[in-house]
Structure 1
Amino acid sequence: MIGDTMTLLSLLGRIMRYFLLRPETLFLLCISLALWSYFFHTDEVKTIVKSSRDAVKMVKGKVAEMMQNDRLGGLSVLDAEFSKTWEFKNNNVAVYSIQGRRDHMEDRFEAAADYVKAHLPDSLKQQLQAFEREKRDGALSYGSILEQRILTVDREMLDKLSANHDEAGTTCLVALLSDRELTVANVGDSRGVLCDKDGNAVALSHDHKPYQLKERKRIKRAGGFISFNGSWRVQGILAMSRSLGDYPLKNLNVVIPDPDIMTFDLDKLQPEFMILASDGLWDAFSNEEAVRFVRERLDEPHYGAKSIVLQSFYRGCPDNITVMVVKFKSGAGGSSKAGE
């Protein structure tokens, strides 16, 4: 009798291990819940789906790591992946970036990202310099200038990439510092967060995701749809609802380039540092976790940027990961500025 019981328990254990805990089974479960949520709009299921999406990403990361280990014949996956890095350090700014478990480095070496890097900073600098010299047009502000230049770069890039049938797209996150203000423009799901004088996390941007009510309604009005495939995607393709590039979806008007602009009072916040990062970081860290983690490592050579990138990888992030940390210095009168 005891032997039969042990055999039954062993069989149940094998079923759990080889069927219920397989990534494919988790994917099917998430898709089923997503369809239920999409058609019946039950709040309880939506909460489950969002939690399941994060769990699926972690499972995919572990599966990718095992597969990579097999391909490398036992070599350390870290040795292979961390050889594909990019880093930068200058005064109060540090950047660290890894390709991670992706086949390509889309955060940096990709047509849309390269185009924006080559054209947006210079054109933005020229318009800001002209604005500072004149400051006569009351309709202009730092926010309006950021918006104009981002939309212009997107139009120019669409013309070039569509002519080559290049469907590349990119996010855009720009933080503009003046004497007493910080102006942030965001398109897509890269994200900024600031640590104020009390160590609190202050969101500098909000992700543009298809499942958000405002974005979902806009997509539906344009004749588009969203569907769940590991994450909510526009037309079943793009996991964010706004971007630069992505010309096939722009032609359908279901993805737009319009940035959100937010302005912050530096005298009030007196920030210690800010983090600007691609979505790979935010797959593994919340805003509050990221601020706590970096704050404890501001004395490191990369102000914690390198450490948080590597920690995101260790946590199973399957994506490219790029993090910039800007360390503020206290200025006269209690205000803060990003170095000299």
Structure 2
Amino acid sequence: MVCSSYLKTVILQAGKYIQKVSRGLVQFANLRSAKTISAVRFSSDRIFPSVRKMMVDTSATANRGMTTSNSSEKVDDGGYASGGWKSEDGKLSCGYSSFRGKRASMEDFYDVKTCKINGQTVCLFGIFDGHGGSRAAEYLKENLFKNLMSHPEFLANTRLAISETYQQTDSDFLESGKDTFRDDGSTASTAVLVGNHLYVANVGDSRTVISKAGKAIALSEDHKPNRSDERKRIENAGGVVMWAGTWRVGGVLAMSRAFGNRMLKQFVVAEPEIQEQELDEEFELLILASDGLWDVVPNEDAVSLALLEEEPEAAARKLTETAFSRGSADNITCIVVRLYHELETKPQPETQSDTEMELQSQTEPQMETEAETITEGQTETEPPGPQTEAVTKGGPTDGSKNNQIIRILIQIPSYINWYFD
């Protein structure tokens, strides 16, 4: 009896030490996991510090009864901004992401607006990629959509309104800087949604792509000097296209159309190319982005990546980070617009067929028998103990093998007490 009692005491003491060590391992594992998560977040935040803000300015104009929502650009010290917006009717939501990247300055701008004109809901999205400075891109952000919504033919002839507004805004910008020595310019890729009708206009090498049943469809074509039709237009106007690292107008500008660029204005026009698209339930999302994205991410990749994310802001962030990780050396800005369509619900039959009822009656008793067998097996093999009872009642458990081993070690004293008692 003395030996048995002594042996029991020794084993219990050993069990308590094992229990303490096991609990220490659990705490260490949790601490290590927390530190790892913190380190990952810290690393991610340093590369892509998040400024998740969208300031919405809602105002009514007296002449046309419009209400406009803006996303004003907020860039932190790291040159990164992101945000999201959803329409009141729930038919679409959008997210944006803009990153300075490896450039010393930020020359990309974006704009998101929604308004009602004569009771018609209109949504406008734009990407403006400046070159030679940020003044032209910022001017477009502040004025292009404002001018477009004020055009008298905006709803009656949207295509004409877009074309005239683009060229008039370009003239206004050049006039505003006529007393300066600046010669900067900007691209513009815009999407205007009037009801279910989409108008995509493009000047320069920013791009708009739409996803239809998972397939990427480009709704704009980059304006490059080596495009045969663009080269012919430039040469007919007395210009020249030269190779200087890439094809350039006059050996200077790597795009054939742009806002601004006063010295090359005779050849580098701001007349947009416009494509129209009637949207139906097959269209899933829209991506507008500067060439900082498209230089390293093909259209198909961009759509595939964006479709993986439920929220458009997360999709925009993923695209921006992917372009940066693939080596983009430019500013990177993109807007993702997710389109929601009403799903038709088919009425469910109230009664089951005789065959379905017969199959159900055959399968249900078998499932119950199997469940009873499993439950009885677990009850017979598991000895009573406090930890076993907690797990049976649905206490928190960890699915990893290491934590299962640790839980078994912690239970050793309880098993010992149960055995000797």
Is the aligned partner of 1:216 residue 2:228?
Answer: no
Match of 2:313 in 1: 302
Q: Residue 333 of structure 1: CA displacement?
A: 8.0
Match of 2:172 in 1: 156
Structure number with greater CO (CA < 8 Å, separation at least 6) is: 1
Identity level (%): 37
For the structure 1 residues 81 and 148, does the alpha-carbon distance in structure 2 shift closer, same or farther, using more than 3 Å as the test?
same
1:74-94 CA-to-partner distances (Å, cap 9, x unmatched) read xx9994676211222112111
Match of 1:329 in 2: 340
- Pick from 105, 115, 118: which aligns with 2:142? 118
Match of 2:26 in 1: none
Q: Residue 120 of structure 1: CA displacement?
A: 1.1
> Which structure's CA Rg is the greater one?
2
1:149-189 CA-to-partner distances (Å, cap 9, x unmatched) read 11100001011123212211001111111222111111001
Q: Distance in 2 between matches of 1:223 and 1:301?
A: 45
Is the aligned partner of 1:188 residue 2:214?
Answer: no
- Pick from 79, 85, 109: which aligns with 1:90? 85
Secondary structure in structure 1 of the residue aligned to 2:139: helix
1:295-332 CA-to-partner distances (Å, cap 9, x unmatched) read 112x2461410011111011111110001000111047
Please say if residues 203 and 257 of structure 2, whose CA atoms lie closer than 8 Å, have aligned partners that are also in contact. Answer: yes
Q: Distance in 2 between matches of 1:204 and 1:331?
A: 24
1:1-340 equivalent positions in 2, closer than 5 A: 79=46, 83-91=78-86, 92-108=93-109, 110-127=134-151, 131-132=154-155, 135=156, 141-196=157-212, 198-250=213-265, 253-267=266-280, 270-297=282-309, 299-300=310-311, 302-331=313-342
Match of 1:4 in 2: none
Q: Residue 230 of structure 1: CA displacement?
A: 2.7
Q: Distance in 1 between matches of 2:253 and 2:48?
A: 25
For the structure 1 residues 232 and 81, does the alpha-carbon distance in structure 2 shift closer, same or farther, using more than 3 Å as the test?
farther
Secondary structure in structure 2 of the residue aligned to 1:127: coil
For the structure 1 residues 199 and 81, does the alpha-carbon distance in structure 2 shift closer, same or farther, using more than 3 Å as the test?
closer
Q: Residue 223 of structure 1: CA displacement?
A: 2.0
Q: Which amino acid in structure 1 is aligned with residue 189 of structure 2?
A: L
Q: Distance in 2 between matches of 1:333 and 1:175?
A: 28
Q: CA RMSD in A?
A: 2.3
The two structures have a TM-score, normalised by structure 1, of 0.68
Q: Distance in 2 between matches of 1:206 and 1:174?
A: 13
Q: Which has the higher helix share?
A: 1
For the structure 1 residues 249 and 301, does the alpha-carbon distance in structure 2 shift closer, same or farther, using more than 3 Å as the test?
closer
The two structures have a TM-score, normalised by structure 2, of 0.55
Q: Distance in 2 between matches of 1:304 and 1:159?
A: 38
Secondary structure in structure 1 of the residue aligned to 2:210: strand
Please say if residues 81 and 100 of structure 1, whose CA atoms lie closer than 8 Å, have aligned partners that are also in contact. Answer: no
Q: Which amino acid in structure 2 is aligned with residue 118 of structure 1?
A: E
Q: Distance in 1 between matches of 2:44 and 2:264?
A: 35
For the structure 1 residues 239 and 81, does the alpha-carbon distance in structure 2 shift closer, same or farther, using more than 3 Å as the test?
farther
Number of positions where the alignment pairs a residue of Structure 1 with one of Structure 2: 246
Q: Distance in 1 between matches of 2:287 and 2:297?
A: 12
Secondary structure in structure 2 of the residue aligned to 1:275: strand
